[in-house]
Chain A
Amino acid sequence: MSPGNGAGSSRSRSTARDIERYASLFAQRTKVMKSSAMRDLMALTERDDVISLAGGLPDTSTFPPDCYASLMSTVAADSCARALQYGPTEGLSVLKRCIAEVMGAEGMEIDDDELLVTTGGQQVIDLVCKTLLDPGDVVVAEAPTYPGAVPTFCAYQAEVVQVRMDRDGMRMDELQSTLDELERRGQRPKFIYTVPNFHNPAGVTLSLERRRTLVRIAAQRELLVLEDNPYGLLRYEGTPLPTLRSLDSDFVIYASTFSKILSPGVRLGWTSAPAPILQKMNIGKQACDLCSSSISQYFVGAYFASGAWEGYVRSLIEIYRRRRDVMLDALAEQFPREASWTHPQGGLFIWATMPPYIDTTDLLARALQEHVAFVPGRAAYVDGRGGSSMRLNFSGVNEDEIREGIRRIGEVIREQVALYGTLTGTEAQRSTATGEDRLVDPAPRPAPAELAQVLRMPAKRQTRMG
């Protein structure tokens, strides 16, 4: 029924006057949406001739097609009628067994009745908001936060308060002072939203000490924590850390997904939460979509029964680790010394921050002329911060494209750094990333000659134009 989208007669009625008439019917919550200019810019990043480091896509190209075909045959042979049928809202037990395996791999035990199967991890965020938030309620999130959560928070008219991070994740001192300040104002946040492992978009991981502090703060203040953990199994270095849920299950709502370890196309995620909350979320899900796809649930069930899932995750880890390393090397080689970026131990993203005079939304417009794209940092904030940062994805494109994409972005950044230096008459080199959205200090970089040796690349490549 959306005006202007239909064919024929409905489109013919969509004059400005009609739109205004519909607009007067729109709920308040529709008014908090991203500007159309930004939306239009992001749409250009999807063009075929653009190397897009903007997506958050896992690489599904290595999943064997014959495996897919045989799994679907198994579903057809064993559970055709049931796969084509509605299922229970909380999910099929065949899928819950798979979830228990995945959670087991991250050191958690779970019973069937503690789980709610959802349509992707994204639905968990929506259901938590639906269950807990009245308009004006406070949600505490990281700064930056997962860009995909922002529209959900906004749709429920939450007041989002963002707490800064550093290389060890959300800063607990700042969280405490934020909560104190909210208390003074008589506002009690409903939940703290966090992506503790390989944060999207920041790429950092919450340290063990901070995990313990966070669950303690939540218990003391009787606040919920929404632990969003889509990437936990995609670790490329370092030791796995316990999930918040395994440290304290009383105040933690846990969310995860099959999207990053198998396929976002199956649209399956899950949550476990304290029973009263889970019950309300179940009712919320009924209202939303009755149940998640039975076909998908049987498909994933058959896949796990084949015993292939852990091997596949290991193969993804190998691919993504190499891509991450290629991107980190390219950043060191191509980005100017004024920039800084995070070093993710896993996941899909690197967060890079420029000096404060560079606006990454405008930089994206310039980068698109060179056929390369990233996500401007503003998308990860609700308050206009993030203007000098960008999210770079390394999972969705191959190694050559990562090298070339970073080379092109580096070139336009250097161009702007030089221009700023000319405009201000200062040595721009001294003005490093100092913005609010900077998470790490610029790394000391080897001299170009040493770098060339380390990377076995000709030094002249740094200045090559293309």
Chain B
Amino acid sequence: MTTVAVLKGGGSLERQVSLKSGARVQDALERLGHQVIPIDVGADLVHQLMAGRPEVAFVALHGRDGEDGTVQELLEAMGIPYTGSGVSACIRAADKVLAKHAMRDRGIPTPDFFAFNETAFEGLGAAQALPAIQERLAFPIVVKPAGQGSALGIKFARTPADVPAALVAAFSYDRKVLLERHITGRDLAVSILDEDGVPTTLPIVEAVPEQEDFYDFESRYEIGRTRFVCPAELAQAVRDRASQLALEVYELLGCSGFARVDLMLERETDELYVLEVNSIPGLTETSLLPQAADAAGIGFDALIGRIVDSALPVA
């Protein structure tokens, strides 16, 4: 039996998802016979950790502070082992711009993009470069906040006239935003789980929107509005390539424990592009990582057990 602190909730925009993830993790840990200390992360986090003295922390947080290395740094400082990726991998995965630059430098395909801080527009006249950027990316363009994990703030710009409002929206979430070439095609997610320290890919999940060509990111991962196919029906070569790309990115960013890599399979070219890496993907009943694990014959409890084991120091 291990004493596990489950860190959930917090103040990010993904608080609700995290509360659901955390509740399921708690139940699984209890069924596995562990002693659970549930913590809704707030100003008293350190106090609660000092009082509870857990042997390991299960980080079931999503979004700002929980997924971007902040909480991980704190756990490092307190000497508490924790699940999932370390500080530097979290920082790189949470910042889409950093992650995409790293991918591009390594030659891993990711949709073309340009990224800007607010200061580039405020102090450097970046607005005047917009026409050139638009020409190089071609429409439609996707505008995203660099550090937001959920669908919030992601906008389509179909014409140049849409771009300023899309940027204003994205800057509501972050000081840094990116403009990305939109890839039309299939939406794939490759989940990765460490097995005895070796990253292993799980069956690929495809998210199929019920309403085709309706650019609504908010419905993307919602049951009833999106259908999930796992394992995704893909040619063996595509499946292998997607898995291989996911593993390369996982290692490139230095992830550990588990993660989910989102890719697009372009319709016209059949090329795969990596969009982003989620260092703490959702663990709710509709989340993709548990679905993928299930398809591989790993039940939710076994999944959680393995994630905790991989975080504990080797005896």
Interface set of A (CB-CB < 8 Å, partner B):
3-4, 8, 11-12, 14-20, 23, 26, 30-31, 33, 35-41, 43-44, 47, 356-359, 361-363, 365-366, 368, 416, 419-420, 422-425
A357 touches B164 (CB 8 A): yes
CB within 8 Å of A: which B156-187 residues = 163-165, 167-173
A368 touches B121 (CB 8 A): no
| Nearest A-chain residue to B224, judged by Cβ | A31
Once bound together, how far apart are the Cα atoms of A369 and B285, in whole Å?
A: 29
A423 touches B130 (CB 8 A): yes
Partner among A14, A17, A41, A416 whose Cβ is within 8 Å of the Cβ of B13: A41
Bitwise interface map of B from 215 to 246 toward A, beta carbon under 8 Å scored 1, else 0: 01011011111001000000000000000000
Q: When A and B form their complex, which 10 residue pairs have the shortest distance between CB atoms, in order from nearest? A: A35-B218, A357-B165, A362-B172, A366-B172, A423-B164, A16-B291, A40-B16, A362-B169, A37-B218, A14-B285
22 example contacts (A-B, Cβ-Cβ < 8 A) are as follows A4-B24, A12-B300, A15-B291, A15-B299, A16-B290, A16-B294, A20-B228, A26-B224, A30-B224, A35-B151, A37-B150, A44-B11, A44-B13, A357-B165, A416-B168, A419-B118, A419-B122, A419-B167, A422-B121, A422-B127, A423-B127, A423-B163
By the criterion of a CB under 8 Å from any partner CB, how many residues of chain B are at the interface? 50
Partner among A12, A23, A422 whose Cβ is within 8 Å of the Cβ of B122: A422
Q: For B172, list chain A residues within 8 Å (CB).
A: 359, 362-363, 365-366, 416
| Nearest A-chain residue to B128, judged by Cβ | A425
CB within 8 Å of A: which B178-225 residues = 216, 218-219, 221-225
Once bound together, how far apart are the Cα atoms of A362 and B13, in whole Å?
A: 11
Q: For A416, list chain B residues within 8 Å (CB).
A: 168, 171-172
B152 touches A419 (CB 8 A): no
Once bound together, how far apart are the Cα atoms of A359 and B225, in whole Å?
A: 23
The reply to whether the CB of B117 lies closer than 8 angstroms to some CB of chain A is: no
Q: For A423, list chain B residues within 8 Å (CB).
A: 121, 127, 130, 163-164, 167-168
Q: For B130, list chain A residues within 8 Å (CB).
A: 423
Count contacts between A and B, CB distance < 8 Å.
126
Q: For B171, list chain A residues within 8 Å (CB).
A: 416, 419
The reply to whether the CB of B17 lies closer than 8 angstroms to some CB of chain A is: yes
A40 touches B17 (CB 8 A): yes
Once bound together, how far apart are the Cα atoms of A425 and B160, in whole Å?
A: 14
B31 touches A12 (CB 8 A): yes
| Nearest A-chain residue to B13, judged by Cβ | A365
Knowing A359-B165, A420-B165, A423-B130 are in contact, say whether A12-B228 is a contact too (CB < 8 A): no
B285 touches A3 (CB 8 A): yes
Given contacts A15-B290, A19-B286, A35-B216, 11 further A-B contacts (CB under 8 A): A4-B24, A14-B24, A17-B291, A36-B16, A41-B13, A44-B13, A357-B165, A365-B13, A366-B172, A423-B121, A425-B128
A40 touches B222 (CB 8 A): no
CB within 8 Å of A: which B267-315 residues = 285-287, 290-291, 294, 299-301
B152 touches A36 (CB 8 A): no
Q: For A31, list chain B residues within 8 Å (CB).
A: 224-225
The reply to whether the CB of B22 lies closer than 8 angstroms to some CB of chain A is: no
CB of B83, distance to nearest CB on chain A (Å): 20
CB of A409, distance to nearest CB on chain B (Å): 13
B290 touches A358 (CB 8 A): no
The reply to whether the CB of B15 lies closer than 8 angstroms to some CB of chain A is: yes
CB of A122, distance to nearest CB on chain B (Å): 24
B153 touches A362 (CB 8 A): yes
Once bound together, how far apart are the Cα atoms of A362 and B28, in whole Å?
A: 35
A35 touches B222 (CB 8 A): yes
